[in-house]
Amino acid sequence: MTDLVKQVLEDLHSWEDEEQTNNLQNLYGKVLETYIEGNYPNGSEGQTLMCSIHDAFQDGHNCVGCNLNEQSNLLIRYLTGYPHFNDLQLVSVQFHLHLYLLAERYLTFIELIKLHESQRGRYFSVFQKVIYWANFLKHPKSLVLVHHPSYLIAVKDQRYDRSDFLVIDDEFVKTYYAGSVHNSKLRGKLANNQNVMVIFPNPLHLIAEFVKAQQKFVELIKQNAVFREILSDEASIRESLSMEQAS
């Protein structure tokens, strides 16, 4: 490692706030715990929540559970690094993008089974919330015209001074990052703004919502024969097929 690289890395760590780092690590330790407990309903020796989807398909191998479980494992692996989390913005960005990769998969299956819009809103609104935040992160739009925004994590019952800051929160991303219709208005709010505060959803509250939606998704598949038939037609290899046909 060159002296330049060593110095840059040293400078990057010089600003770390010990109290904030400890709080961040404790918070994400609880996030990991909540997620694992929700996704291992039968303990470490039993099936994961996603793998339990296999039980609903008796004729051959269905890949819905496999694909969801694979992405779920990536999230768990990411979260196991929480003892080294030390940057609120970096961790929040990475966490939301990992959740986004899962949420997109759930919504793809939900679209495939043509779940009624009212049920989507009732049971799976958290997936859409995650996607709004991912849109904000992937497609910042006029955020690139802001001068040094602040980044925080939402704290329950905490009030933020909105008289001095433009606050980007759940409602803001839902309004301005669901599409392009409000892009001109967004630019008017953000261009050359020096007082912008981004408040990420509390990850512990978010993961609890997310796990609840995961559980509901599995329940719907297991209890609804029509949904299973659709997913079976699209994502199952029948046992009657030869290996050559399956490939």
Sorted by where each begins, the domain ranges of the chain are: 18-136+202-246
- Give the pair of three-digit tokens for residue 237: 């290899």
- What pLDDT is recorded for position 235? 65
- The pLDDT > 70 percentage for the chain reads 92
pLDDT, the chain, mean: 90
| Residues in a beta bridge with 151 | 198
Helix (H, G, I), strand (E, B) or coil at 86: coil
Q: Which residue has the higher pLDDT, 226 or 217?
A: 217
Q: How confident is the model at residue 6 (pLDDT cuts 50, 70, 90)?
A: confident
Work out the end-to-end distance of the chain between its first and last CA atoms, rounded to an integer number of angstroms.
Answer: 47
Strand pairing of 61-62 and 236-237? antiparallel
- What pLDDT is recorded for position 241? 43
Mean pLDDT of 89-104: 97
**What is the reported pTM?**
0.89
pLDDT digits (tens, 9 = 90+) for 14-26: 667 889 999 999 9
- Give the pair of three-digit tokens for residue 242: 């030869």
What's the rounded Cα separation, in Å, for the pair 114 and 185?
A: 34
pLDDT digits (tens, 9 = 90+) for 121-135: 999 999 999 999 999
**Of residues 82, 88, 132, 114, the one with CA closest to residue 227:** 114
- Residue 47 reports pLDDT greater than 60: yes
Mean pLDDT of 78-102: 97
| Residues in a beta bridge with 168 | 198
Helix (H) or strand (E) holding 196: strand 196-200
Q: How confident is the model at residue 238 (pLDDT cuts 50, 70, 90)?
A: low
Helix (H, G, I), strand (E, B) or coil at 147: coil
Count CB atoms within 10 A of the CB of residue 135: 18
